[in-house]
Amino acid sequence: MSQPDLRIRKACKRLRSLITDASIYTGKANAITILNSIENGSIDRFFELKKLIGEFPLQIRGKLFHALAQLEQAIKALDRIPGQPVDVVILTAYKTPELDAVLELPHGNNVWTQFKFPHEPLTWFHAEIPGPERPLRVVAGSPDRTGMPLTATLTTMALLRWEPRLIVMCGSAAGSETFTNLGDILIPERIFVHDAGILVADEDTQLEKLHSDRWTVDISSALLNDIKFNKDMYFEGLQTVLQEALTVRASSKEARSKIDIHIGPLATGNTVINSERYMKELHEKERKLIGLEMEGYALLAAIRAVRPESTKGLIVKSVSDFGARITFGFRQCASKISARFVFNFIKNSSVIDWDA
């Protein structure tokens, strides 16, 4: 636990003791509940607690406000009050193993601290990460369910609250068995929804067939060119992650001893695909397809709708399977590889003007 968190716990303990010892007052139970929420990360409820303490009996109010001031100083020391602008937002589809892989990465002497917004179930994490010119304020989180609807909602919330310069999603994805291997990095130059369209019956085969509508979003060419030209810098440490995974998990021809990067069209869909036939049909429609996932389109579409000129979006996935014969055995390794790539990009890329 970081020192600021210890200060918050100490201040909460002092306040709880004073409130408990106070004479009978109807607001005691509510104050203790709010105090517990603050101690568990909901620091935005501080002002609600302050207002409630102002209604306590006069004889105890002075001591309470003194302890409350200590709590306020501890919260300010965290420098993570919700609503402050941040530079980067990192989103993942899952808490485990994808967000966990982000939170495990070292970034100087700082630590991740968590916070919540009132009446919201999601937990966010904040830290400062060394950037190319100055420390960058980074917020990370994941929805409580996978898929495009919640990803779009979470992205829009982040855009409106923090106005970040970059929102990036990392994690695992199904790779193209034609082009990719386990652990490879997938970065879309454009991303499309593969299961949007009209489902009609084929009179000859009596099977239903999807007539696709291509909802497509393109990635910034400046970001893609930067990644192409500085690939080696962003690959630092990735090979070690892969080698550690290969020593634990015996792999077939699907896994290489060296990670590669693939930039091309990526498909987003609403369902987990575990079908060789479906993957083959996708390749027939998009012969250069590099992979398949479930959230990226929603993230980029939300950025395009809310802050297209000010915020850049990037999708970085690592191959954990091939959309068929899924075992989920490589997801943890793929999550660590993509998270490490994202951190290398944040720390080293000069393509984004962080102070614009």
Distance CA 136, CA 345 (A): 12
Provide the pLDDT for residue 251. Answer: 47
Distance CA 239, CA 237 (A): 6
- Is 88-348 a CATH 1.10.10.60 domain? no
Q: Give the residue carrying structure tokens 């960058």.
A: 136
Provide the pLDDT for residue 47. Answer: 80
Question: DSSP label at 128?
Answer: E
Tell me which residue of 250, 272, 285, 271 sits closest to 321, measured CA to CA.
Answer: 272
Q: Give the residue carrying structure tokens 């009132």.
A: 118
HSE, side-chain direction, 13 A CA sphere, residue 272 = 11
Provide the pLDDT for residue 122. Answer: 86
Provide the pLDDT for residue 229. Answer: 94
Rounded average pLDDT per 10-residue block, the chain, 356 residues: 66 88 75 86 79 84 88 69 78 95 78 76 87 91 89 93 94 91 93 78 60 71 93 90 68 62 92 80 86 94 93 95 76 94 94 84
Provide the pLDDT for residue 342. Answer: 96
Q: Give the residue carrying structure tokens 């609503």.
A: 83
Q: pTM of the entire structure?
A: 0.75
Tell me which residue of 142, 148, 167, 138 sits closest to 308, measured CA to CA.
Answer: 167
Cβ–Cβ contacts within 10 Å for residue 326, how many? 16
Provide the pLDDT for residue 25. Answer: 66
Going from N- to C-terminal start, the domains of the chain cover 3-78, 88-348
